[in-house]
Amino acid sequence: MSTTQKPLSLLINIIFFLLLLSPSISTNDPTPANWPHQFHALLFMNRTNTLQNLHLWYDWPNGRNFNIIQDQLNAVVKYDLEWNNGTSFVYTLHPSNQHCEVLHVDVGILRPNWMEGANYLGQERVDNFLCNVWEKVDFIWYYEDVITKTPVKWIFYTGIELLTF
């Protein structure tokens, strides 16, 4: 073998060896991160003709979810305490509008891995965040920051944007 072929052959072997050691490029779609078992989030909901500020306290270990909901320019605050057994207590304390309603929903609160099995739709920019986007059961769209895996927005039958998480 000539001396010019030896360095070329050595270089090809080194490149081949490095390719074998390098991590393989994954073609799998990303999956949504599980929610922390406990957190507080400040949400903004923009429904047709209704703008709402919502504080969400999520507490999976204790099987509860607590929402404090206030419509824009409305003094009446609505409280919504949801339990994992499907029972919800929706009430207000304002003197002009005191009431308590007990609701029963079959599903209970969302599991930390509630987006498991969602259909990945790709990436989209939302409020200056590059997000991975998933769709589940034809009426839930979930947007998660690509870098931090923090929820940015989700849309059920209502639009919800996350301000803090």
Q: pLDDT digits over 10-64, tens only?
A: 656 555 555 555 454 556 999 999 999 999 999 888 877 788 899 999 999 999 9
Q: How many CB atoms lie within 10 A of CB 73?
A: 6
Confidence of residue 6 (pLDDT cuts 50, 70, 90): low
CATH of domain 38-164: 2.50.20.30
Measured CA to CA, the distance from residue 92 to residue 65 in angstroms comes to: 17
165 three-state secondary structure = coil
